[in-house]
Chains A and B, each alone.
Chain A
Amino acid sequence: MMSISYYYVNKNRKLIGFQLGMNISTIIGGMAAMTTGILLIYQYPFHFTWITIISTLTGIFIGSLFGGMFDYQTLLTGYGSGMTMGLMAPMIGASANFSTLFIGLVEAAFGISFIILFLAIRNS
């Protein structure tokens, strides 16, 4: 899903202004880091420290990958957003008491953000 949307954004990147680019890198970096952190803390609840590190690095990588397509400043925005959400995500996942409903909610938010991204690129 991530690679498909990377390809789609990369194909249309000449049409996207910097305002939309900033928002794209913020949303994608934050949502990817949050989903990674929550799913990993559900899977391995004993390794809190390493899961924090892994989800932060994932958020940084994906945020700067999407932000790096446009500008140096969108790269910085995606980097900051991914890092913040990645540091927070395992705490949210751990304090949500391991419920299945919460996983469904997070996955739905992840999917909806991608749908909104496609719509925004098409209508820009």
Chain B
Amino acid sequence: MEHYVLGSLLFTLLLGLLLFRKMFQSRKLFSDRFGMIVATTYSGVFNFSIGMHLYLLLPDYAEFISCVVVVIGGGSGVIIGSIVKFHSVLAGFFHGTVGALMGMMLGVVVYNPSLCRLPAVNEAMLNQSIIVLSSFISFLTVSTLGLLYYSFKV
């Protein structure tokens, strides 16, 4: 299970780097509004995935991971926003931070459902739900980044 989650995390990182490179190549073609929407969507989804996978990978270091995830989210939002203009930096920073914290929250709830007064689960059901949710988030990342990649060509 840990190998699956680690592989999924690396896959997300690879996809994010590929899309960033593609966006950096075609940065002269962007309008103002399009840059802002790309920064919002990209940083939200990417950091959501990163936060959830990092928490599922190392659930024992929750405080440390929350700090790391917020720094990663804000940094990647600023980087992807600074390609275009200054107000997309703002949008990217905000959505990156919110997405990272929300992804970590989803990881916490999946790991310990009695936090939300849901019925607790046993070990086998926990593993199954972690794998289902991890593959669903990977699918979501692939489809969103694919949509963005397609929108660079239009």
Question: How distant is the Cα of A53 from the Cα of B33 in the complex, in angstroms?
Answer: 30
* Contact indicator per residue, chain A 68-87, by CB within 8 Å of chain B (1) or not (0): 00001100110110011001
Once the chains bind, are A94 and B118 in contact (CB under 8 Å)? yes
Binds A, one of B62-70, B79-87, B109-117: B109-117
Whether the Cβ atoms of A46 and B117 lie closer than 8 Å is no
Closest to B150 in A: A72
Q: If the complex has contacts A49-B110, A88-B102, are A76 and B151 also in contact, measured as CB distance less than 8 A?
A: yes
In the bound assembly, the distance between CA atoms of A53 and B136 in angstroms comes to: 7
Question: Does A91 reach chain B (CB closer than 8 Å)?
Answer: yes
Whole-angstrom CA separation of A72 from B150 in the bound complex? 11
Q: Total interface residues on A, using CB and 8 Å? A: 24
**A83 and chain B: residue at smallest CB distance:** B140
Q: Which of B102, B119, B129 contacts A49 (CB 8 A)?
A: B129
Find out whether the CB atom of B33 lies under 8 angstroms from the CB atom of A73.
Answer: yes
CB proximity of B71 to chain A, nearest CB, Å: 21
Given known contacts A79-B144, A83-B140, A52 and B44 CB-to-CB distance under 8 angstroms:
no
CA distance A97 to B132 in the complex (A): 26
Indicate whether A111 reaches chain B with its CB closer than 8 angstroms.
no
B40 at interface, CB cutoff 8 A: yes
The CB with the most chain B CB atoms within 10 A, among A46, A48, A77, A94, is that of: A48
Q: Which residues of A contact B154 (CB under 8 A)?
A: 72
Q: Which of A76, A84, A91 contacts B116 (CB 8 A)?
A: A91
Q: Which of A46, A56, A76, A88 contacts B147 (CB 8 A)?
A: A76
CB distance from A86 to the nearest CB of B (A): 10
Does A100 sit within 8 A of B, measured CB to CB? no
A residues 26-66 near B (Cβ < 8 Å) are: 45-46, 48-50, 52-53, 56
By Cβ-Cβ distance, the 3 closest A-B pairs, closest first, are A94-B116, A80-B41, A49-B129
**Could you tell me which B residues sit within 8 Å of A by CB distance?**
33-34, 37-38, 40-41, 44-45, 48, 99, 102, 105-106, 109-110, 113, 115-119, 129, 132-133, 136, 140, 144, 147-148, 151, 154
Chain A residues packing against B (C-beta within 8 Å): 18, 45-46, 48-50, 52-53, 56, 72-73, 76-77, 79-80, 83-84, 87-88, 91, 94-95, 97-98
